[in-house]
Structure 1
């Protein structure tokens, strides 16, 4: 069993709305960690740095903006291929999850922010065009001295981010056990069914019968609401459980794959490589190297 991941204690007090940390650095030396605060992290001039969020392991480009909106989602950035003496700019904004309370988020004007936070429970990154558009606002927040106006600017930043297109979710839902949130009751019902039955040979017909839809109709419905087909959703759930076991146990890759519903190891290895960009063994090794400690 793996050691616990560092639980960071941040300087954000209960009386603060948020805190901004602006720094220049030449290396990423903070371990994989979790903390109760939500976090918006902007990084510039760090091409080749490795980002780990849940079971997502990726190299970032020269500009990065990520939002983590969960208290238990492991995340961290590491030097990886970013070496030398380049100066990296990093601006981190940490804020309380209840900064925008539930009643306020239910208002129509805040609906898009609520949807963004729901996705960010699994970590999200924003596309370059969105980053370019909000970069100035992030720099302004890092230098704003007037507390009241900084809060207004922060709300404006969150709103603009929530309106942008191309936001991408990072971690698998089944890797990070957050309360599952969907914009469709039928999608929620199907996903919960798959989460409960992913270890066996579950079929599209079964899922369709569950929500009163034909196989063709359900397939189209899932594609419309999630952007993925039935098999992709099922495989993502299985891969999330595989990733979690690779991190938390010492079971063999084959044993983990079979326990997670993959009955063809060659097919499993191909799917894992395609989705994660590395083999299961490489994934386990990368995670173990990311400075886990109590």
Structure 2
């Protein structure tokens, strides 16, 4: 098939990422080592993963009006062409996030405010969504979620349960983590029911749950040493959306997306370790 058109609807945060030698204790002065800035968050990292393909990519997001917003915008507005950014303006400071990765690769995320999300009332080219082969939604606005449902395939993060209930639409896939209580609600918690609920579980098999039954998809081998887990789930979600846009089954898309989530574990910065997406 021709290169698909894929959209991401959601937030991009100003992230300061670094590592520490151990888990901080009360009263500690913690030194953040190898610190760097990146445009992160669920929307930003899935978008970055999708940009590592030949697909036509559209990002629908919102930006504040301060230096943090300008730094984010400079990084996400890559060369014009197959990647386009549609950003709503917000007269507020852009949220800043600090991500601390410890010696075991575990990440702690400290946020300064709620993420900025686009809304259907923003003057953005929302009609593009109807022509998309797939949309990954990590926004919060129910009406923009309804607009995203016009795409051929719709993937929604499990963290947006409130938007799903308000929009009253059934996505093709809801994706979450079995170990995260904010994401591991059972299939019957969704009304309407999605076509499939995908739950990742670290190095264990991915669960694909449907009203008619469940399937397991083997996770790829993890590296011998996990250097950082920040962004692994978001990279998996972006890759899953890419393979669904190509018409693959949910199970096969999970199998192919797994290595893209695992690739991120090789370092602390997902933008340095994400691997390229190749059409099936």
When the two structures are superposed, what TM-score results if normalisation uses the length of structure 2? Answer: 0.30
Q: Which has the higher helix share?
A: 1
Larger radius of gyration between Structure 1 and Structure 2: 1
Q: Which has the higher strand share?
A: 2
When the two structures are superposed, what TM-score results if normalisation uses the length of structure 1? Answer: 0.29
